[in-house]
Amino acid sequence: MSKELFTELSTMANKKKLFFGAGAAIIMLMTAFRAEPVQQPVAVKASAERGKQVYVKRCMACHQADGGGVPHLNAPLDGASAVTGKDKAKLIKIVLNGMTDRVEIDGEFYSNNMPGNKDLTDAEIADVLTYVRTGWSNKSSAVTVAEVKAVRTKK
Amino acid sequence: MKNRWQILSLAIALNAATSLNACASDSLKNAVREIKPDADNAGLTLPAGFGALKVAENTGRARHIAVTAQGDIYLKLMRVNKGAGIVRLRDKDGDGKTEENTGFGNYGGTGIVIKDNYLYASSDADVYRYKLNDKGEVINPDQPEKIITGLINRGMHESKSIALDNKGNIYVNIGAYSNACQEVDRTIGSKGQMPCPILDSAGGIWQFRADKLNQGYAQGVRYATGLRNVVGLDWNQQLDQLFVMQHGRDQLSYLYPDMFTEKQSAELPAECLYALKQNDDAGWPYIYYDQLQQKKILAPEYGGDGKKEGGSKAINPTMAFPGHLAPNGLLFYTGNQFPSKYKNGAFIAFHGSWNRSPLPQEGYYVVFVPYENGKPTGKWEVFANGFAGVETVNSTRQAQHRPCGLAQGPDGSLYVTDDVKGTIYRIIYNGK
């Protein structure tokens, strides 16, 4: 196990929030998979399932159960080009810091304020973005804890 | 189809144009008999004796609407469509369906009202007016007078809805660019700002003169405050008073999951109808109105817990509706076409909710509030339903049409806009 991954695991273990009840071995296994360049379907599915819980609490009010958003108000996540695109760092930043840009998204403007979610753990953000990127009609790759961590520590 | 309209309209233009216009009001009562509802009543469910037709479709994101004495329809579009932010629809052959669609005004917005030979229209920062000729046509579509300018627009609750009184004043809603005036909007754990600085320039109704140019905040009067966001408002002619529909705050259980259940958060707070007098304060952001307890409740951002009361100086609503239905249009009915029960009562267009998940969404209908002797009877009823086109809306995008603006035609027909697909509905009474 790489040194980096080890530190990551210990940080996560400290943030007990997400890991209550789960066996440490499973966590390590799943996290190890996530750090692999090739994403393991089982681990991705598990991450997305955890991510759904985060989504229901923190995102669904605005982005709706089907990820459809609200016309002109809250951007859709289902089928959105940025959500399914390659720039995961951008998505992580949006979830961390929120978004009030009023920029055109796939030809439309949205007039609500999205709050930041700095209180969520790296794992929760990875999970919720994995859920969003693999849910509904979206078929993109997962977001890893390491990717979230990298974005969060940059600033 | 189009050719037929063109031929028909040409024939009418040649033969009957003058007579149609000249005796418009005399023939209106007859004309309405010739106007037939669509076979499916435009997809709407209505009380017995009423029918509906789609006057036009795909007009753009039609927000508010005004109808001239001659029956031309002016729509304000939320976003410029084919170069125009205002669309004029004209029914040339008197069948109720409009064949001609012309546009002007290169700005998006919501407000549009006709008053004393002027058409007033708003962008999200300014208000313009256009002189009408005696046929109700805009004389100089490209040279409006800018009467109000520089109103705050932060891209949230940005609609500047308008209404006029009979003394030359115009009332403009300036919505608060915030949900509950937290330090950081819609963020868990962020406190309410005390006092709320937004109220200086937004979160209320401002009054200006209808005939003065380039008025800014300095020339206006903050007529009423503590109103989070008003989209539907109307001047009640019978009571000579301004009435507004407030959009209540969002996200009680999202922000305070320990205080509010999802069900409470879906129902609360009320969407309120207020009768305003100058200097009234409706209490936002410090309180909200709970229609179940029938009390003004201290907002949790300001120390509330869902039970503590607050806002002793804040006015009470005239009527309170379930939460998040999004009242975007308000109209006091003064026509004679509908049965007498409707006269002087209020129609409200509810755009439909988004802030009720995980419960199903609600709204997407036009409501009627009966009035007796200048007071609501206390009951309200769904008047026109079926705009959404689906039985249950779980996610807002499933709604195919969302009612937004209301207008009364010269014959007493009720017009309803839809800002999803731009369908314009006309509701008529043909019962005996």
Question: Which CATH number fits the domain that encloses residue A104?
Answer: 1.10.760.10
User: For the domain with range B39-429, which CATH number is right: 2.120.10.30, 1.10.240.10, 3.30.9.10, 1.10.3720.10?
Assistant: 2.120.10.30
Comparing CB atoms, the residue among A65, A114, A116 nearest residue B395 is A65
For the segment B12-70, what is each residue's pLDDT rounded down to a tens digit?
Answer: 343 333 333 434 444 454 444 479 999 999 999 999 999 999 999 999 999 999 999 99
Q: Which helix (H) or strand (E) holds A146?
A: helix A145-154
ipTM of the complex, rounded to two decimals: 0.87
Question: Considering the domain boundaries, does residue A81 fall inside one?
Answer: yes
A54 and A84 both lie in a single domain: yes
The list of chain A residues with pLDDT below 50 reads 1-36
User: Same structural domain for residues A24 and A46?
Assistant: no
Instruction: Please give the model's pTM, rounded to 2 decimal places.
Output: 0.88
**pLDDT tens digit sequence for B296-306:** 999 999 999 99
Q: Which residues contact A62 (CB under 8 A, 6 or more apart)?
A: A69, A70, A73, A74, A112, A114, B354
On whether any CB of chain B is under 8 Å from the CB of A97, the answer is no
Number of domains in chain A: 2
With a CB cutoff of 8 Å and minimum separation 6, the contacts of B126 are: B107, B146, B148, B149, B150, B151, B160
Mean pLDDT of the region B335-351: 97
Same domain, yes or no: A72 and A114: yes
pLDDT tens across B154-166, in order? 999 999 999 999 9
Do A71 and A95 reside in the same domain of the chain?
yes
Would residue A37 count as lying in a domain? no
| Same domain, yes or no: A73 and A147 | yes
Q: Is A1 in the B-facing interface, judged by CB distances under 8 Å?
A: no
Q: Number of A:B CB contacts under 8 A? A: 71
Mean pLDDT of B260-289: 98
CA A107 to chain centre: 24
Based on the domain organization, do A135 and A65 belong to the same domain? yes
Which residues of chain B from 339 to 368 reach within 8 Å of chain A, CB to CB? 354-355, 357-358
Do A109 and A136 lie in one domain? The reply is yes
Nearest alpha carbon to residue B407 among B31, B119, B1: B119
Instruction: Find out whether A27 and A50 touch, Cβ atoms under 8 Å.
Output: no
Pick from A56, A58, A64: CB nearest B396: A64
* One-letter amino acid for residue A14 of the chain: N
pLDDT value, residue B423: 98
What is the residue range of A115's domain? 42-153
Clarify whether residues A86 and A17 are in a common domain. Answer: no
Task: Output the six-digit token pair for B274.
Answer: 């207020």
- Let me know whether A106 and A144 are in one domain: yes
The identity of residue B216, as a single letter, is G
Average pLDDT over residues B384-390: 97
